[in-house]
Structure 1
Amino acid sequence: MLREPLFHFVILGLLLFLAGRAYQTRTDVYRIEVTPAHVAQLARSYALQFGTPPDAATLEQLIQDDLRDEMLFRQGRALKLDQDDEIVRRRVVQKEQFLIQNLHAPAEPTETDLAAWYAAHVDRYAAPSRAGFSHIYFAVGPGGDAAARARAQGALARIPAGVTRGPERGDPFPDLYDFSAFEPEQVERLFGRTEFAQAVFTAPTGRWSGPFRSAYGWHLLYVAARDAPTRPPLAAVRERVRSDYLQGAQDRANAAAFEQIARRFTVVRADRKAAP
């Protein structure tokens, strides 16, 4: 019997069958093995969330809930529900980004590093200019934009010397007429990114000027005082500089890690037409 080729064929086939069944059992999508390590992970997650370890009944319920989720997840994958799903795609991308960041955390900067960073980005930490100003408002009426501007020009010529405010010389304005120590961002938030908002920080001080256009209409402007931007010493903004330095280092490390990943891929741009 040992010399029969048929016997050898049967034995080899049996071995292959058993090996295939063993592999299928280990990789079967419908076979879930609850390991002690996974149960411990469930217990740790519960303790982190609630501040105390789960009791036996709670732990068993956690295991049953986890099994239910795993069954639904595997069944969904078997039906290929994870394919072409934008939410699943975004979640996987997010997890990969977290993984890259965790593997490439930047080193703590030295004082020399911080000083160099601050010197290269000093304008980022400068305190913005501040201005105190008053304005006279002219609404755009039935006569249109040109008529409102002409009214403002006429009012400017009639303002006596020494007058620093005169809201009654124009139209009612829906907000304040006088502003103290306003920064550019505050002015733009109220008047829009307009000619008037720019003039608050460029027009001469101590006299009326204009008219300047805003999101509301036309204005005459009186800038009483304006402080130039100031650059604080490194010691005053050290924590901001450190945070920005680490973020910059992290961004560069992330970019380098992504480049290594990108080199493994071949991108075929079928959407682009071939050059003539």
Structure 2
Amino acid sequence: MRFLREPLFHFFLLGVAIFGWFFWLNPADPNGSDSNRIVIDSQDIARLTAQFEATWRRPPTEAELQGLMNSLVTEEVLVREAQLLGLDQGDGAIRNRLAQKMNFLTTSVAQSIEPDDETLRAYMDQNPERFASPPRVAFEQVLLKPDEETRDVLAALNTGADPKQLGAATLLPAEIPLSIAASVDGLLGRGTFAQLAELPEGSWSGPVQSGYGLHVVRLTGREPGALPPFEEIRERVLQDWRSKQSEELTAAQVQSLKSKYEIVLPEPLTPREGASQ
């Protein structure tokens, strides 16, 4: 059903997950609220134990667990006292951390969604440029001397002249194996690959402008970009699909949360006359 794929429906589920997660970690105190009371419960012990095991690959001893609980109590005391002093107000680092945690909740929901292969295939077909292998070319090149005529060098090469006997001395490789645009442009300069892609294969042609000057080149191989079979890149498609879902869910979440507030922005300022002069 289409509505199951809508970001707003996912946001509804996200809201349920957020509040469920929050109340699971922060259960209501049956004895009422008491700002001077610090309770370490079984959930805290389980979390501390899990964190210790993840780091040390073994459960903590009784003494180590006691030390972890003491550290947690110390942290809670310091946090509460800092809040009483208002030290959390206007702190950019704290604000950023809270915003990151909210985004993490959204990402967690997206990561937990398990789409079927039909959904992933459709996503791959709609975004082939995200998964296709890039085109590649292989070629030989001769860097021309400033006073050499391109047509003369091409005529000599196409009648069997040795490329090593022509052109300027250079440390550039005479033969470049199959390479993608980023590699070719990284070697010869931006835009070189685009020029090579327009040339015929098998004969010397040019000139081709690079960051070093003019070249004559002979394409010796060409592989067009291609979309691999779905089975080969399923995991890649899944991760990309989840990343896209995270973006959409985050946008829906922020929009929904914004609707709870009256947002007042300053009127557009009119630049004073001559201010830009």
TM-score band by shorter chain is 0.7 to 0.9
> Secondary structure of the equivalent of 1:132?
strand
**Aligned-residue CA RMSD (Å):** 3.1
**2:167 alignment counterpart:** 170
Q: Which amino acid aligns with 2:175?
A: D
Q: Is the 8 A contact 1:209 1:220 kept in 2?
A: yes
Deviation at 1:165?
6.2
1:133-144 matched pairs, under 5 angstroms: 133-138=139-144
> Secondary structure of the equivalent of 1:171?
coil
Match of 1:240 among 215, 231, 236: 236
Mapped to 1, the partners of 2:195 and 2:161 lie a distance apart of: 17
**2:40 alignment counterpart:** 35
Q: Give yes or no for the alignment of 1:263 onto 2:263.
A: no
Match of 1:67 among 62, 70, 73: 73
Deviation at 1:99?
1.6
Q: Is the 8 A contact 2:138 2:176 kept in 1?
A: yes
Deviation at 1:175?
3.4
Q: 1:79 to 1:158 in 2, by over 3 A?
A: farther
**1:193 alignment counterpart:** 190
Q: Is the 8 A contact 2:132 2:228 kept in 1?
A: yes
TM-score of the pair, normalised by structure 2: 0.72
1:42-121 matched pairs, under 5 angstroms: 42-103=48-109, 105=111, 107-121=113-127
**1:26 alignment counterpart:** 34
1:147-187 CA distance string (max 9 Å, x none): x4x54637635634244862442233333220111122221
Q: 1:36 to 1:115 in 2, by over 3 A?
A: closer
Mapped to 2, the partners of 1:106 and 1:39 lie a distance apart of: 26
Higher-Rg structure is: 1
1:174-228 CA distance string (max 9 Å, x none): 332201111222212222322x221221122222233322233332222122222
| Moved segments of 4+, more than 6 Å | none
Q: Which runs of 5+ in 2 are unaligned?
A: 1-31, 272-277
Match of 2:215 among 208, 214, 219: 219
Mapped to 2, the partners of 1:262 and 1:134 lie a distance apart of: 59
Q: Give yes or no for the alignment of 1:206 onto 2:206.
A: no
Deviation at 1:129?
1.9
Count of aligned pairs: 240
Q: Is the 8 A contact 1:130 1:182 kept in 2?
A: yes
> Secondary structure of the equivalent of 1:159?
helix
Deviation at 1:264?
1.8
TM-score of the pair, normalised by structure 1: 0.72
Mapped to 2, the partners of 1:105 and 1:226 lie a distance apart of: 38
**1:142 alignment counterpart:** none
Deviation at 1:96?
0.8
Q: 1:266 to 1:192 in 2, by over 3 A?
A: farther
> Secondary structure of the equivalent of 2:69?
helix
Q: Is the 8 A contact 1:155 1:169 kept in 2?
A: no
Mapped to 1, the partners of 2:132 and 2:162 lie a distance apart of: 31
